[in-house]
Amino acid sequence: MNKPIRTLSLFCGLLFLVLLGNATYLQYVKADDLNGNSLNRRVIEASFARERGAILVDGDPVAESKKSDDRYEWQRTYPRPALFAHVTGWFSFFSQSGIERAENDVLSGDDPQLFVTRLVDLLSNAQPKGGSVELTLDPAAQRAAYDGLLALGEGTQGSVVALEPATGRVLAMVSVPSFDPNKLASHDLTSVRDADAALNARKDQPKLNRAIQTTLPPGSTFKLVTAAAAIEEGLYGPESQVPAGASYQLPLTSNEAGRVTNATGNACNPSTVTLKFSLEWSCNTTFAKIADELGVDKMREMSEKFGFNDTSLLDLPGQAKSAYPGDLDRAQTGLSGFGQSNVRATPLQMAMVAAGIANRGEVMRPHLVDEIRSPDFDSLGKSKNEVYSRAISAATARQLTDMMVGVVDQGTAGTARIPGIRVAGKTGTAQTGRDDIANYAWFVSFAPADDPQIAVAVMIQNSNRVNSEISGGGLGGPIAKAVMEAVINR
């Protein structure tokens, strides 16, 4: 072999080695990154054309794939779109959200637990199918929550979350306004872009899951946390005399802005009342003074035991942290005692507070996924109940429960009464301090008080009412009652 041919052979050999190395790098080192890249159109098209598993509620599909006669073969559909939109999310060519995103590996069939199924499909030359996901939602509670919010009228923005106290199972999660995920899952990609742009342009943010993504001042429902801290610290008991009065000047203040008043007439005007009476009539002056007595560190510590400053729901992406800041001064700490200042909470967070009290002080981690199944509906695993924290003692929980029953029977939460059932509840109305933004109405409750089956949090962000017509008991109480009855009477 002469020198030119030998040189050319070496050069070709070198090129072959480079090509072999590059192919090995792409196939084995970068394969996962490339397959997971959101810009990889081949992966997107393959996934979009696959038969995904169903998302089920009580065995019925709330998201499923149906045969299509176009290039993508399978069309993702949502039979009851508005009712479950914020939980199922959507599966579009461009993006995914909700359970569609969180459980994508199972629904698409890529989960390692479905390896055998994929192997069988490969050997039999069958199209791969995804597994299904059963949710914890109770369809009657979900319907009651949704109908209750819609009954408040056009333009309502709000959310309802219901939990099973002993397990943390999410029984209802509704956010309004809702939307139709079918329009985002269409195979007509131009119409999908238009629908998505129209939803994103709306000021009422229909794609926002207010149950876990909106934090607002929780108002007087936060008095449950303040009362829990006061009892746990041995500061007061339900029958202890606590400071009250028509008004209270916050520490470090001397002007009108620092003067706390009550919204329940003269009931709180005596200089002292019992802690139970103060909760029943939601005396702001009492809880501002108690929060100042406790101090910011103990208030923050109790808040965090219930889940503030953390995210607890692992089954959905995008949960916002409810906040109890640790740097409040004395005036701000006083305001935090009745859920104002910089305290902010999601409806899920306040449902956890109610559920923790209902469950004898033990807060369970909320979860939405109940079971994962193969395409042949064989169970691949059920979710396990998990203790999130021990927030308060069983004795403190029992005292708070009795106080909350008093709020329903004698106090501000009478709209949630259920004949023959002891109901525990607490109202809340958070002042926005602005004429152009409506006050926020809150309501938390659980029932039956002696054997809690359900804990509910209702948040009304906007109901197109003037502030004088907005109250937690008036707007949220009837909704909470309907949701509780849906579970108790099933």
Tell me if residue 195 falls in helix, strand or coil.
helix
Instruction: For residue 142, give the amino acid letter.
Output: Q
Q: Rounded to whole angstroms, what are the CA distances from 104 to 32, 118, 188?
A: 15, 15, 22
**Six token digits for residue 289:** 């003074």
Place of tokens 């209802």: 172
Amino acid, res. 379 = S
Q: Is 374 a catalytic residue?
A: no
Is residue 236 within 8 Å of residue 230, measured between CB atoms? yes
Round to whole Å and give the CA distance between 348 and 97: 18
DSSP-derived secondary structure for 110-158: -SGGGHHHHHHHHHTTPPPB--EEEE---HHHHHHHHHHHHTT-TT-EE
Give the count of beta carbons closer than 10 Å to the beta carbon of residue 237.
14
* Angle formed at CA 376 by CA 375 and CA 377, multiple of 5 degrees: 90
Phi, psi for residue 425 in degrees, rounded to 5: -155, 170
Taking CA 431 as the corner, what is the angle to CA 203 and CA 310, rounded to the nearest 5 degrees? 75
How open is the CA angle 244-249-251, to the nearest 5 degrees?
Answer: 110
Tokens of 215: 């934090």
Q: Which residues contact 224 (CB under 8 A, 6 or more apart)?
A: 279, 353, 354, 357, 400, 404, 426, 444
Handedness of CA 217, 220, 223, 224 (dihedral sign): negative
Of 220, 278, 322, 389, the active-site residue reads 220
DSSP H helix total and E strand total for the chain: 18, 17
Distance CA 245, CA 331 (A): 17
Q: Which residues pair with 408 in a beta bridge?
A: none
CA trace torsion 468, 153, 84, 43 (10° rounding) = -100
Which token pair is 238? 């339900």
Catalytic residues, which ones?
220
